[in-house]
Amino acid sequence: MHEHLRVIVADDNPVVRAGLTALLSGREDIDVAAQAADGREAYEAAVRHHPDVILLDVRMPGVDGITALPHLARLAPVLMTTYSRETHIVHEALGLGACGYLVHGEFTADQLVDAVRDAKRGHAHFTHTASNALLAAIRSNYAAATTATSPASRRPGEVAESPSHPQANMAHSLLSQREVEVMDLIASGMTNQQIAATCFISQKTVKNHINRIFAKLNAESRGQAIAIWHGGGPTHG
């Protein structure tokens, strides 16, 4: 038996709002408590109805979804449901507190319902475009960081601008490409469930990666691993 959930649907397109509401209202354990046409209406509805989950579009007139997101995320788990698929938008939404990101046209009714139920439990859901965008951003940031610190990237006689974090460079060099991706997601604050959803791997595989990462970094906790990753601790054992 599923827990009974109250949901708010925020989207400026009335057809999309009606469609999402119809899909969710057909389930015995889900009630759409309110609809909203922009971020301000969504916030006011959330304060009034105390929802379990909020579905939020990105681009809306007035107060858009990205602007409203950090305020809404303090009131309930926020699941982005949107046509916006740009890498920087996905990354920004997750950084501001979204618990998942679903791009319209990439999920079924059952997948939407599962995502809403799991959002309440703290489990993340991403459609493939959002997952690919997140991984692309992580790889781009890592490539930029390694290029900036590589001796080959500097002109003859040029001294590296930031030699103060040799531990971070060493930590990066110890891990495989997949382990680097997982460690970047750990450092971004993601849970094992969110990492599994983002990388399309099982939670058991995530745990295996984390165990290997901790062993290579000589870390005993997530916090210690993150500190080492950013150059704040030793990697020798």
pLDDT in tens, 55-96: 999 999 989 999 999 999 999 999 999 999 888 888 889 888
| Percent above pLDDT 90 for the chain | 39
Q: Which pLDDT does position 1 carry in this prediction? A: 57
More confidently predicted of 190 and 100: 100
Cα dihedral 17, 6, 75, 126 sign: negative
More confidently predicted of 20 and 131: 20
Q: pTM (2 decimals)?
A: 0.63
Nearest of 216, 208, 142 to residue 195 by alpha carbon: 208
Q: Which pLDDT does position 122 carry in this prediction? A: 82
Q: Which pLDDT does position 237 carry in this prediction? A: 46
Nearest of 130, 124, 114, 116 to residue 192 by alpha carbon: 124
Q: Which pLDDT does position 229 carry in this prediction? A: 80
In the predicted model, is pLDDT for residue 234 greater than 60?
no
In the predicted model, is pLDDT for residue 236 greater than 60?
no
Q: Which pLDDT does position 157 carry in this prediction? A: 47
Contact 137, 90 (CB under 8 A): yes
More confidently predicted of 50 and 159: 50
The whole-angstrom separation of Cα 12 and Cα 57 is 8
Q: Which pLDDT does position 123 carry in this prediction? A: 83
The mean per-residue pLDDT over the stretch 14-40 comes to 93
Give me the residue label for tokens 């703290």. 122
Provide the 3-class DSSP secondary structure of residue 56: strand
What would the pLDDT profile of 101-123 be if each residue is shown by its tens digit?
A: 999 999 999 999 999 999 988 88
Provide the 3-class DSSP secondary structure of residue 198: helix
| Mean pLDDT of the chain, nearest integer | 83
Q: Which pLDDT does position 177 carry in this prediction? A: 80
Contact 32, 24 (CB under 8 A): yes
Q: Which pLDDT does position 154 carry in this prediction? A: 52
Contact 185, 195 (CB under 8 A): yes
Q: What one-letter code names the amino acid at 224? A: Q
What would the pLDDT profile of 138-195 be if each residue is shown by its tens digit?
A: 677 666 666 655 555 555 544 444 434 455 566 677 888 888 888 888 887 788 888 8
Q: List the single range of 23-27, 104-108, 200-204 with lowest mean pLDDT.
A: 200-204
